[in-house]
Structure 1
Amino acid sequence: MSSLEWAECQLAEIELLTSMFPTREELEITDQLALAELRDFVEGSGSADSPPPSRPQFLIKQKLDTSDVILSCAYPSEYPSVLPEITVRCSDLSRAQQTQLHADLNTFLLENCQGEVCVLSAVDWVKENLQLFINKSVSAAATPKKETASPQSEKVFSRLWIYSHHIYNKTKRKNILEWSKELGLSGFSMPGKPGIVCVEGPQSACEEFWSRVKVLTWKKIMIRHREDIPLDRSGEDSRTVESIDSLRKFTGFEEAMFDPHGNRGNHMDLGQLYHFLNEKGCCDVFQIYFGIEGK
């Protein structure tokens, strides 16, 4: 599909949603400028050389039984050739159940709606399945947990090196910062193209971070490299048990920018990235990411 065809599909779906959810209490367009730019582009009064720079974003608000639920939606420029970014918010869901709901919703959309507009399908799916997740959440809360994590995972320090085709979205960048802080992880994230995230800390916390991040809508994301270090290595020699903090290479978690450049400022200076990694004692991972030795 061309940029114009993508834009036509997006505008048609928004107009359909507006007719189905006519009040602001049901549908709220959170970026009116982006919608105006999209309409100008489709109607030919905007620039024909490139698609509109902004992305339409909107909220669909529903009351399901006794639960209030909000679907926060954003269109990537290539939608519907790629899935939209949809986040479901509901105070009756635990964070773990919310993560699982997003994973199941994305699986459903990938299997049934790839290449087609799908926001209405997402709304219908949430209507049909939300109560199941709420029931699971209530049941899990009522059952006392004997342990919060696998005993084995608490004896392992992990460092995950995550690679993404790109990290542009402000919400994703905010989530990465907030989740790493919530889980007590150190490391850094480098937005732009490509996007890089490193998290380090208890293995269980690293796995929880990865489970949340990977279910977001990405063009491509993977764990490029991981390091798992047993904390209790006293069986190997007479050294004392190592602590989580003694193995960290980073202090806290930060978003790192390295001389952004390019048309949209989305490319970083990889030479500066290499020096940053070298200062942290992690320069070997540069070749793992990019297949070349850093300088």
Structure 2
Amino acid sequence: MTGIEEAEAQLSEIELLTSMFPSQNEFNIRDQLALAELREYVEGRTDYLPSSRPEFVIHQKMDTEDLKGVTVAISCTYVVDYPNVLPDISVRCPELSRAQQARLHADMNAHLKENCCGEVCMLSAVEWIKDNAHLYITKNPAAQGLQRVSTETPPVEVFTRLWIYSHHIYNKVKRKNILEWSSDLGLSGFCMPGKPGIVCVEGPQASCEEFWARVKVLTWKRIMIRHREDIPLHSQSGGEGNVTSLRRFSGFEEAMFDPHGNRGNHMDLGQLYQYLNERGCGEVFQLYFGIEGR
């Protein structure tokens, strides 16, 4: 299969999925620009194979009796050689532990490699997940005869705030991912693009760790967690309310502070300090830059 044939197969699959899942709540294309570039290439309006790869999410409700009310999010990012090579597919669901998720991914990919080699596979992936998700997701242990008396201490809920440092954040796709992933995971905070790049996310610990897991695997010159705050909630009542009260940021935003320099990629650090200080985070400035803010 040639490059243009692969691109045609990718576009045809997206158009089929769009017709099968007409609601944005069911099928959401994350990068419309990548889709537009793919269409231009297939239609011969450009000779260049798009560098951006289409990404989308299918939200699938489970209809088996033991998983009523459970929805899984099936994320897909095409690779250049798809369908000759499997795309990057991940399945996310609150009822899936990390171990269950790993097993599901391994078994699903093995099934797709055996049955969909050289062919588009997303409908097969969706059908496999609908048929097999109950083997990995434990929504109601009692209903499955798994209930037992436990003497273990209940897990401690933790509120987390991650302060992430990057050598730079220029790329528009990365910036878009950061905004979308923070929204998907219910996190608040901010992203300051430019050089250096700074990201703060706050919320439930599992959501913050999932955000970091997604971000760190992107291509970076340098990225690291500069500082981490973990606040146990077990001694406080009403866990969700406490998460809300501990937030320093009301939502997540991309924050720009008087961009300047030859490429407009440097920010006014004095304004950054004021921004942090107004939210009770002024002490973090010294952790990033080694000097006290003013």
Summarize deviations over 1:260-295 as a string: whole Å, max 9, x none.
98xxxxx9734335741474232234359xxxx999
Summarize deviations over 1:227-251 as a string: whole Å, max 9, x none.
45789xxxxxxxxxxxx99xx7944
**Corresponding residue number in structure 2 for 1:149:** 155
| Deviation, structure 1 residue 24 | 3.2
Distance 2:86 2:257 in 1: 30
**Corresponding residue number in structure 2 for 1:269:** 265
**Corresponding residue number in structure 2 for 1:188:** 190
**Corresponding residue number in structure 1 for 2:12:** 15
**Corresponding residue number in structure 2 for 1:123:** 126
Summarize deviations over 1:143-187 as a string: whole Å, max 9, x none.
69876533xx76xx7542235776647575244146455xxxx64
Distance 2:190 2:288 in 1: 14
Distance 1:173 1:24, change over 3 A: same
Distance 1:193 1:14, change over 3 A: farther
**Corresponding residue number in structure 2 for 1:240:** none
Contact 1:258 1:270 in 2 (8 A): no
Distance 1:22 1:158 in 2: 37
Contact 1:259 1:269 in 2 (8 A): no
Distance 1:36 1:158 in 2: 38
**Corresponding residue number in structure 1 for 2:226:** 225
Distance 1:255 1:39, change over 3 A: closer
In angstroms, what is the RMSD of aligned CA positions? 5.7
Mark the runs of 5 or more structure 1 residues left unpaired by the alignment: 232-243, 262-266
Contact 1:26 1:62 in 2 (8 A): no
Distance 1:271 1:223, change over 3 A: same
Distance 1:109 1:213, change over 3 A: farther
Distance 1:98 1:189 in 2: 28
**Corresponding residue number in structure 2 for 1:41:** 41
| Deviation, structure 1 residue 130 | 0.7
Contact 1:177 1:254 in 2 (8 A): yes
Distance 1:252 1:23 in 2: 34
**Corresponding residue number in structure 1 for 2:209:** 211
| Deviation, structure 1 residue 219 | 2.0
Distance 1:137 1:60, change over 3 A: closer
**Corresponding residue number in structure 1 for 2:237:** none
Distance 1:215 1:283, change over 3 A: closer
| Deviation, structure 1 residue 46 | 1.4
- Give the fraction of aligned pairs with identical amino acids, expressed as a percent: 23
Q: 1:132 aligns with which of 111, 120, 135?
A: 135
Contact 1:25 1:61 in 2 (8 A): no
Summarize deviations over 1:93-144 as a string: whole Å, max 9, x none.
6x2428766555556688997xx8764674365245411233x122189969
Contact 2:257 2:269 in 1 (8 A): no
Distance 1:229 1:26 in 2: 40
Summarize deviations over 1:34-86 as a string: whole Å, max 9, x none.
6565243135x212356287846474868764568675555467575895465
Distance 2:249 2:180 in 1: 19
TM-score by length of 1: 0.52
Mark the runs of 5 or more structure 2 residues left unpaired by the alignment: 233-241
> Secondary structure of the residue that 2:96 maps to in structure 1?
helix
**Corresponding residue number in structure 2 for 1:162:** 164
Alignment of 1:249-268 (within 5 A): 250-258=248-256
TM-score by length of 2: 0.52
Contact 1:190 1:256 in 2 (8 A): yes
> Secondary structure of the residue that 2:140 maps to in structure 1?
helix
Contact 1:173 1:191 in 2 (8 A): no
> Secondary structure of the residue that 1:137 maps to in structure 2?
coil
Aligned residue identity for 1:226: H
| Deviation, structure 1 residue 258 | 1.5
Distance 1:252 1:85 in 2: 32
Aligned residue identity for 1:173: L
Range that drifts further, 212-221 or 25-34:
25-34
Distance 1:230 1:30, change over 3 A: closer
